[in-house]
Structure 1
Amino acid sequence: MFNCIFNLFNFNQHFINVFFLIFILLFNAVNPVVNKIRNIYEGTSNIEVIGNDVFFEILDPPDLKYTYRVRPAKDFGVPFSQINELRNVQLVLVHPKYGCGIPENADEVEGNVAFVQRGYCSFKMKTVYAEKVGARAIIITDEHQDHDDYFIGMIDDMDSQDVNIPSAYLIGKNGAMIRKTLEKLDRNYAIINLPVNLTFTPIHKISQPPWLQWS
């Protein structure tokens, strides 16, 4: 009788040990996935979500006071990490809006961030002209409905001219809303900070434009 009880106890103990081992293996397999989800939606880092993209925030006018995501040019210009944060600078609508020559409002662009529309010349050429009139950076967008909801990779056009300011692409929905709102308010610029560091800000705490949800 005593031997039976002892054998039963050993069997149960062995079963518990095996169960505990399986539990540990499953926990170790699942835990990285759980941590990744937590980091994206609740945790401390968005680095896997934003990749190489950068962000800027509009401070004024209030109708545009949100945080916007832009994608830097791939192989021309300087990285945003190499410039000081541009605080309380103007994001200026360039005239003509395509920025394929010296702007008519070059004095307004000087010392600020140029805002131009895609088309009629290369991304790099727009950046070259913005730099020539003293822009500190340039944001390019495409407001055409066929291209207004995704990012476009801006690549070098093999022109020999050097570019020494950062350049970034803003999706068209945001670009169209910025231009439309500024024109409605009869003003030619918004006040922005560029770039802003959101590495340790959870996605759900970023003030996203209500007309656009980041994926």
Structure 2
Amino acid sequence: MVRGATGWWCLVFWLPVYVAAHGLRIHDYLYFQVLSPGDIRYIFTATPAKDFGGIFHTRYEQIHLVPAEPPEACEELSNGFFIQDQIALVERGGCSFLSKTRVVQEHGGRAVIISDNAVDNDSFYVEMIQDSTQRTADIPALFLLGRDGYMIRRSLEQHGLPWAIISIPVNVTSIPTFELLQPPWTFW
């Protein structure tokens, strides 16, 4: 009986200390749902940048997810006007994650979703970190699997659409498991 009480006391005492020091890792994913086009109407998983960017203070029921041009968003965007007050879909590569986030922020984007440039990546999340330049970014920056980013872009191209309509963030804990519309190519 004493051993159980000691274990319980250690859990109650040390868990808050551990969480304060390391952060609670259970909320490392953020979810969004594509509402249109309908062929990719799934709930996608993304991971927030580790040490830069902001957080979502608002839930956007319907906001445009606009693929950046050029896709890597390392320089001036030719479609920057369409990214203003929307969310940009950017591809990994060419410059740092922070640089991409700042380019989107400078164009008035509310957030950036950076998809892996490895289009066959359907399971490995990259941890986006600061680039050691002292620069900052205020908008949320999320990492998306390469396969997911590719499928979203492909669908937009097939339908001739300039953007998708998404809802972000989505609270998946309030959705029954059988109603979670997961991409069939991604393992959860």
TM norm. shorter chain > 0.5? yes
**1:104-123 counterparts in 2 under 5 A?**
104-123=78-97
* Contact 2:47 2:143 survives alignment (8 Å): yes
Q: Which of 13, 18, 28 in structure 2 is aligned with 1:52?
A: 28
Q: Which amino acid aligns with 1:183?
A: E
SS of the equivalent of 1:199 reads helix
Return the offset for 1:58: 0.6
* Contact 2:43 2:180 survives alignment (8 Å): yes
Match of 1:160 in 2: 134
| 2:86 pairs with 1:75 | no
| Sequence identity percentage | 37
| 2:78 pairs with 1:100 | no
- Residue 181 to residue 78, structure 1, CA distance change in 2 (3 Å): same
Matches of 1:49 and 1:161, distance apart in 2: 26
- Residue 92 to residue 208, structure 1, CA distance change in 2 (3 Å): same
- Residue 205 to residue 50, structure 1, CA distance change in 2 (3 Å): farther
Larger radius of gyration: 1
Q: Flag structure 2 segments of 5+ consecutive residues without an equivalent.
A: 1-23
Matches of 2:35 and 2:26, distance apart in 1: 22
Matches of 1:108 and 1:52, distance apart in 2: 29
* Contact 1:58 1:190 survives alignment (8 Å): yes
* Contact 2:67 2:162 survives alignment (8 Å): yes
Q: Which of 156, 163, 171 in structure 2 is aligned with 1:189?
A: 163
Q: Which amino acid aligns with 2:187?
A: Q
Match of 2:111 in 1: 137
TM value normalised by structure 1? 0.72
* Contact 1:142 1:148 survives alignment (8 Å): no
Matches of 1:203 and 1:155, distance apart in 2: 32
SS of the equivalent of 1:196 reads coil
Matches of 1:148 and 1:54, distance apart in 2: 16
* Contact 1:61 1:190 survives alignment (8 Å): yes
Matches of 1:77 and 1:134, distance apart in 2: 14
* Contact 1:113 1:139 survives alignment (8 Å): yes
Matches of 2:89 and 2:119, distance apart in 1: 18
Return the offset for 1:146: 5.8
Larger helix fraction of residues: 1
The alignment's C-alpha RMSD in Å is 2.0
Return the offset for 1:147: 3.9
Matches of 2:164 and 2:170, distance apart in 1: 16
Return the offset for 1:202: 4.6
Matches of 2:132 and 2:43, distance apart in 1: 32
